[in-house]
Amino acid sequence: MKLNSLARLVCLLIVALLFWTISLTSAQAWPKKFAQNSANQTKVTLYCPSEGKFNKGETFELALIFDIPEGSHIYGRSGGEDGLPTTVKWKLPAGINFVEAIWPSPRQLKFLGENISGYEGQVAVIYRFLASSSWSKIPPISAEVSWLDCNESGCHPGQILLQTESVQFIHSQFELYNQLMQQTLSQGIKETYAVALPLHKTNSTNVNSRQLKTILVGKWLKVILYAAGAFLGGIILNFMPCVFPVLSLKVFSLIEQAQGAKQGGQSFKASAWFSLGILLSFWTVAFVMIVFKAGGRELGWGFQMQYPAFVAGLTLLFFLIALNMWGVFEFGLSLTRLGSLEQNQPKAVSAILSGILTVVAATPCTAPFMGSALGFSFAEPFYISLIIFTFLALGMALPYAALASWPSFLRYLPRPGYWMETVKQFLAFPLAFACVYFIWVFAKQTSLTGAIALLVALVLASLAAWIYGRLALKNSKIAWILICVISALCLVTIYWACTNATNIQPTKNLATEAYNGQKVAIWSPQAVQKALSQGRSVFIDFGADWCLTCQVNERTVLASPEIKELFRERGIVFLKADWTKRNEEITEALRTYGRSGVPLYVYYEAHNQSEPVILPEILTVNIVKSYVK
């Protein structure tokens, strides 16, 4: 059966948006080794001072040698308040365990008139490992290194994948490299937290059938509890700020279902197709995360919002839907019929697409009970993850299914009429406000130039939609040519904004400004340990600009005078971990707290440092006061 043009348009937009994001994500998930021949780019060498033969119980060292061009500098493992950190993610085989990392003491440098901490010249970072089995040659170890090159002309990110198959035994550099390593050992700063976990099976133990049954029952009881939490979280997710912009679509869907409520079973079919759309969306997200996890790349909930291309595509999609609701153009059937179902197949497709759109809008948010359930699922086998995501989807679909399947409720809804046109246009404004918010997020991820380019793309999209609404339905060839040309210009502009308008500059005082003068430091594991070692309590805010729940909590609670005064009186160190852009160190930290997304609020009491307290996802002033004692 032929699909209506509306369903085809929305389907193409959503599918293109998903594939675009997945392709960008995959390009960064398995970075290829590349040659760094540019004279103004930092070169990184993996160096082993020995021949690579290790006995069981011996420790050995690998060094990363950073050769930084003159006039440039890179930042350390935390980045401080002024730059992005240098991160190293190791992939270790079974039988090799991480012991410690030793970084040289950073230097005090001048950059753009400001005092910063960083490195210049040649630097050696030493990593020490323990061999729990004997090796006749150097083990197969890989390191994914990311850093930020900065000079007077700007800052540029660098990334490389180094492997021990190509480890360098350069005799001409032996003396220099060992001298650099000795400098690091003599004045370096040690890190004893793991940067990578070896994947290997634990030693088997003898258990009887009763013990095995107890273990299995306990495990599946845990799965059931987390599945119930995911189901509850899915229900609450419908009422989170992220979903507000698309609620107008469901309002019109329920109103149209009220008209067909007397047609037996039609409303139930509508909710069934809508639920299927939600299920397919959550299964797709779960599948992507499972695949990338198997490839050695950890993703978190809402990961797609870290990519400017996805944010731009979502902005364009919401903007086109708002234009449609304002009557700028029509596709024969209004977009407000998304999610309704009468007696033909195209309406089933519309209902499925409505479910997909709802999930796309909801992914930046994390609801209560949902965070811990997702964190548990990502640490379990793939089938457990699918179970958790399925219950999350069923919870999100439940309110719509219950209301649509309740004939007595539908009878209370007003019947469709001419009044719907006015209300339809009014309900397009939440979508427009969502576009404003996404443009702000896009500016944070790229630059002001990028945001302006995105605005230009939206103007081009509105021009193409206006031409379509005025002339295209009259089968004007000129109109169709103009629409194709303008649409191409729109996509090219978005592509340019995502790829060329990014301006990675130091983010000094960004967190401080966001909290209206409240003293906030940039999060790092070292900053946490330093504050705790000084006997001070620590409050960590894991958030992101694209997370609307985070923004509401920050503006209404964490930036309130009561909380600022509370933190000041008790000397609490406030640390901000910004997950707006991809940051592997923050992703790993979220995992350690059993979470896979933001918001996450963690409180360390100075006198009880071993047991951090995790606060709820939705904060109030009283909630924070009850935890911070």
Give the tokens for residue 153.
């002309």
Last residue of a domain, one of 122, 156, 191: 191
Residues 220 and 342 in one domain: yes
Task: Label residue 439 exposed, middle or buried (CB < 10 Å: 0-12, 13-18, 19+).
Answer: buried
pLDDT tens digits, residue range 386-433?
888 899 889 888 887 777 667 666 666 666 667 777 777 887 888 888
> Which of these three, 398, 414, 430, is where a domain ends?
414
pLDDT of residue 166: 53
Residue 345 has pLDDT above 70, yes or no: no
Among the listed ranges 73-82, 157-166, 569-578, which one has the minimum average pLDDT value? 73-82
User: In whole angstroms, what is the distance from residue 225 CA to residue 103 CA?
Assistant: 43
Same domain, 317 and 277: yes
- 248-281 per-position pLDDT tens digit: 666 666 666 555 544 545 666 777 888 888 888 8
Beta strands in 532-615 (DSSP E): 538-543, 573-578, 600-605, 608-614
Virtual CA dihedral for 255, 259, 264, 266, nearest 10 degrees? -50
Least confident segment among 111-120, 314-323, 445-454: 111-120
In a domain, 206, yes or no: no
Query: What is the arithmetic mean of pLDDT over 111-138?
Result: 79
Cβ contacts of 131 within 8 Å, gap of 6 or more: 54, 55, 56, 57, 58, 59, 60, 95, 96, 139
Q: Are 587 and 544 in contact (CB under 8 A)?
A: no
pLDDT in tens, 302-313: 777 888 888 898
In this prediction, residue 624 carries a pLDDT of 93
**242 lies in the same domain as 373:** yes
Residue 536 is assigned to a structural domain of this protein = yes
Biggest CA pair distance of the chain: 87
pLDDT for the residue numbered 198: 32
What pLDDT shows up at residue 211? 42
Instruction: List C-alpha distances in Å: 71 to 56, 149, 152, 154, 254.
Output: 44, 10, 8, 11, 63
Place of tokens 């996404």: 438
Residue 116: the pLDDT is 80
Q: Distance between CA 431 and CA 442 in Å, rounded?
A: 16
167-174: long-range pairs with CB below 8 Å, 24+: 167/46, 167/47, 167/48, 167/52, 167/62, 167/138, 168/45, 168/46, 168/47, 168/48, 169/48, 169/51, 170/47, 173/47, 174/49
Residue at which a domain ends, from 142, 176, 191: 191
538-543 vs 573-578, strand pairing mode:
parallel
| CA pair distance 586, 524, nearest whole angstrom | 8
Q: What is the pLDDT of residue 89?
A: 83
Tally of CA atoms within 13 A in the half-sphere of 118 that contains its CB: 28
Which residue, 426, 449, 425, is CA-closest to 439? 449
Q: Are residues 262 and 394 in the same domain?
A: yes
* pLDDT band at residue 551 under the 50/70/90 scheme: confident
Token digits of residue 158: 């660098």
Same domain, 21 and 49: no
67 falls within a domain: yes
Q: How confident is the model at residue 31 (pLDDT cuts 50, 70, 90)?
A: very low
Gap between the terminal Cα atoms of the chain: 64
Tokens 């006039």 locate to: 71
Taking 80 as the threshold, does the pLDDT of residue 195 lie above it? no
> Do residues 293 and 388 both lie within one domain?
yes
**Mean pLDDT along residues 511-531:** 68
Provide the pLDDT for residue 212.
42
In this prediction, residue 540 carries a pLDDT of 93
Indicate if 168 and 116 belong to the same structural domain. Answer: yes
Q: Is residue 205 part of a domain?
A: no
Q: Is residue 443 part of a domain?
A: no
Of 615, 557, 546, the closest CA to residue 582 belongs to: 546
Domain count, the chain: 3
The answer to whether the CB of 521 falls within 8 A of the CB of 575 is yes
In the chain, pLDDT over 90 holds for what percent of residues? 10
**Can you tell me whether residue 110 is helix, strand or coil?**
strand
Residues 75 and 110 in one domain: yes
* Per-residue pLDDT, 209: 44
pLDDT at residue 1 above 50?
no
Q: Element (H or E) spanning 89, and its range? A: strand 87-91
pLDDT band at 192 (very low <50, low <70, confident <90, very high): very low
Asked if residue 622 is part of any domain, the answer here is yes
CATH number of the domain bearing residue 182: 2.60.40
pLDDT at 341 over 50: no
Spatial distance between the Cα atoms of 318 and 187, rounded to a whole number of angstroms: 54
Residue 531 sits in a domain of what CATH number? 3.40.30.10
Query: Which regions of 112-182 does DSSP assign to beta strands (E)?
Result: 114-118, 122-131, 142-151, 154-163
Q: Tell whether 583 is covered by a domain.
A: yes
Mean pLDDT, the chain, whole residue set: 73
H or E stretch at 378: helix 370-378
Q: For residue 558, what is the DSSP state?
A: I
- DSSP-assigned states of every residue in 449-505: HHHHHHHHHHHHHHHHHHHHHHTGGGT-HHHHHHHHHHHHHHHHHHHHHHHTS----
Q: Is residue 201 part of a domain?
A: no
Q: Work out the average pLDDT over 610-619.
A: 84
Q: Residue 208: what pLDDT?
A: 42
pLDDT at site 297:
59
For residue 574, the model assigns a pLDDT of 93
Range of the domain at 74: 43-191
Residues 132 and 262 reside in one and the same domain: no
- Poorest-pLDDT segment among 209-213, 470-474, 552-556, 604-608: 209-213
Report whether pLDDT(14) > 70: no
> Shortest CA distance to 84 belongs to which of 517, 508, 574, 621?
508
Q: Could you give the CA distance from residue 105 to residue 169 in angstroms, rounded to a whole number? A: 26
**Whether residue 264 is found in the same domain as residue 227:** yes
* Residues 23 and 60 grouped into a single domain: no
Q: Which of 154-158, 492-496, 500-504 has the lowest mean pLDDT?
A: 500-504
Alpha helices (H) in 238-344, listed in sequence order? 244-259, 266-294, 308-325
Asked if 221 and 131 sit in the same domain, the reply is no
pLDDT band at 584 (very low <50, low <70, confident <90, very high): confident
* Each residue's pLDDT tens digit, 287-339: 887 776 665 555 667 777 888 888 898 899 889 888 988 888 875 444 444 44
User: What is d(CA 248, CA 254) in angstroms, rounded to the nearest whole number?
Assistant: 10
